Amino acid sequence: MKFSPLLDELIQSLRCLPGVGPKSAQRMAFQLLERDRKAGLKLASALSSAMSDVGHCQSCRTYTEETLCPICASHKRGTSSTICVVETPADVLAIEAGGHFTGRYFVLLGHLSPLDGVGPEELGLALLERHLASGDVAELILATNPTVEGEATAHFIADMARRHKVMISRIAHGVPVGGELEYVDSTTLALSFNGRLPL
Amino acid sequence: MKFSPLLDELIQSLRCLPGVGPKSAQRMAFQLLERDRKAGLKLASALSSAMSDVGHCQSCRTYTEETLCPICASHKRGTSSTICVVETPADVLAIEAGGHFTGRYFVLLGHLSPLDGVGPEELGLALLERHLASGDVAELILATNPTVEGEATAHFIADMARRHKVMISRIAHGVPVGGELEYVDSTTLALSFNGRLPL
Ligand SMILES: [Zn+2]
Ligand SMILES: [Zn+2]
């Protein structure tokens, strides 16, 4: 015995969401049916619009339903000679929240991960190389995560940028401001020693 | 700065799902956009069909897109004089998987929980009382969960059944078969002593 066909279909479909197993899919379906059908319908329409209409910015690859994202479309920032390379659109938001960076971005939407089938093509590196080859880029700031994959991705991109004689930098990793030394992990601590600056 | 309007709308809408906070909503949206737009569209259509078309069985309240669920619609079981009261449709599936119970069900879709605004009306107890008053019910088996709320709900329904002179029973709670005594919690152990049967 199973649930009714439509309910079964809903529970199965919810499992496409990352981290949602059979039990939580059931709980989600029951909660929507019992408490909030309006929210369920709103989610259905948001999903269908986003899946159909959200594409990639033709210049930086971030998600947008326009040809260019607001930053790439802006007169001032879209032609900046400094490009900051990040892994996800959430990283762009985090850097923009800081408000210090005034260049443009390139969003990889991931990192090199051969076992998951993510290579240079999946990260749009051909598009990044066209930017580098155009002569419009003076500096490439690598802001991928300080993880094994993030570092490998940064090195791969650095090699590419070197071929085009573009200046390359990596954002600094170390003890966060306000963080207490004794609670910082040993890798971060090692990075913070390696990256020490003369006073 | 925010994500693009359609992406923001999707992330917001995903938060209607229980247990989904801002970070996991973001992760879900990115994963669907990047890896599986087809699954996202399928989920959209499953949600919209279920929210619009899944209703309640007119006899037992479980979720169904028909007037009666398959059990209530069956000649043999739909007119059974034994009704088993459970909290959720998942409980029905668990009991059906056992294959021993041949009566019909009444699905509360919750338990009494005054603080959450769940009273007798939300649990469809007026419909259950109509079954009890009809004279067609000989025994009511209470299979709500052995939690504080489940017990309170069972007592409330037992009082109602008594007024209609219907026999009432509660399923046994105790040490599960194959379970080791030393790993069973003390409440279950107490229930298993109280429910002891002469050999
Ligand atoms: Zn862009
Ligand atoms: Zn039914």
Looking at residue A73, what is its pLDDT?
95
> pLDDT tens across A91-130, in order?
999 888 888 889 999 999 999 999 999 999 999 999 999 9
Distance in angstroms (rounded) separating the CA atoms of residues B63 and B79: 19
Model ipTM value: 0.85
Looking at residue B181, what is its pLDDT?
76
Asked whether residue B129 is assigned to any structural domain, the reply reads: yes
> Is the CA virtual torsion B62, B63, B65, B70 positive or negative?
negative
Tell me the H-state helices in chain B. 5-14, 22-35, 37-53, 70-73, 89-98, 125-133, 148-163, 186-194
Q: How many domains does chain B have?
A: 2
CA of B126 relative to ligand 2 center, distance in Å: 16
Chain A: give the shortest CA distance to residue B50, in Å: 6
Residues of B in Cβ contact (< 8 Å) with A77: none
Give the residue with greater pLDDT, A96 vs A199. Answer: A96
At position A31, the amino acid (one-letter code) is Q
Q: Are residues B21 and B88 in the same domain?
A: no
Q: Are residues B61 and B113 in the same domain?
A: yes
> Is the CA virtual torsion B89, B91, B93, B95 positive or negative?
negative
Q: Are residues A40 and A72 in the same domain?
A: no
Containing structural domain, residue A18: 5-53
Cβ within 8 Å, pair B47-A43: yes
User: C-alpha angle with apex A58: A54 to A63, nearest 5 degrees?
Assistant: 30
CA of B59 relative to ligand 2 center, distance in Å: 5
CA of B20 relative to ligand 1 center, distance in Å: 28
Name which of A27, A33, A65 is nearest B63 (Cβ-Cβ): A33
For chain B, how big is the Rg over CA atoms in Å?
21
Mutate to test the interface with A, among B9, B17, B72 (most CBs of A within 10 A): B17
Q: Are residues B47 and B66 in the same domain?
A: no
> pLDDT tens across A33-52, in order?
988 999 999 999 999 999 99
Chain A: give the shortest CA distance to residue B194, in Å: 32
Name which of B10, B30, B37 is nearest A46 (Cβ-Cβ): B10
> pLDDT tens across B49-67, in order?
999 999 999 999 999 999 9
- Torsion from C-alpha of A61, A65, A67, A71, nearest 10 degrees: -60
For residue A88, give the chain B residue with the closest CA: B30
> Rounded to whole angstroms, what are the CA distances from A181 to A90, A185, A194?
27, 9, 15
> Rounded to whole angstroms, what are the CA distances from B167 to B101, B110, B139, B158, B196?
17, 23, 5, 9, 21
Q: Are residues A77 and A127 in the same domain?
A: yes
Q: Are residues A155 and A127 in the same domain?
A: yes
Asked whether residue A186 is assigned to any structural domain, the reply reads: no
CA of B163 relative to ligand 1 center, distance in Å: 70
Distance in angstroms (rounded) separating the CA atoms of residues A168 and A154: 10
Q: Are residues B113 and B63 in the same domain?
A: yes
Q: Give the number of whichever ligand sits closest to the CA of residue A104.
A: 1
Chain A: give the shortest CA distance to residue B26, in Å: 8
> pLDDT tens across A170-186, in order?
888 887 877 787 877 88
Looking at residue A187, what is its pLDDT?
82
Asked whether residue A187 is assigned to any structural domain, the reply reads: no
pLDDT at A1 over 80: no
> pLDDT tens across B159-183, in order?
999 999 999 998 888 878 777 778 7
Q: Are residues A142 and A162 in the same domain?
A: yes
Averaged pLDDT in 10-residue chunks for chain B of 199 residues? 91 95 94 93 97 97 96 94 94 88 94 94 96 94 91 95 93 81 80 76
Residues of A in Cβ contact (< 8 Å) with B89: 3, 7, 30
Chain A: give the shortest CA distance to residue B37, in Å: 5
User: What number of residues does chain A have?
Assistant: 199
Asked whether residue B184 is assigned to any structural domain, the reply reads: no
- Give the tokens for residue A100: 């210090």
Pairing verdict, β B82-86 and B55-56: unpaired
Percent of chain A whose pLDDT exceeds 70 = 99
CA of A69 relative to ligand 1 center, distance in Å: 4
Tell me the H-state helices in A61-104. 70-73, 89-98
Q: Are residues A92 and A25 in the same domain?
A: no
Q: Give the number of whichever ligand sits closest to the CA of residue A106.
A: 1
Give the residue with greater pLDDT, B117 vs A191. Answer: B117
CATH classification of the domain holding A39: 1.10.8.420
Q: Are residues A95 and A44 in the same domain?
A: no
Name which of B4, B41, B54 is nearest A7 (Cβ-Cβ): B54
Distance in angstroms (rounded) separating the CA atoms of residues B141 and B98: 16
CATH classification of the domain holding B118: 3.40.1360.10
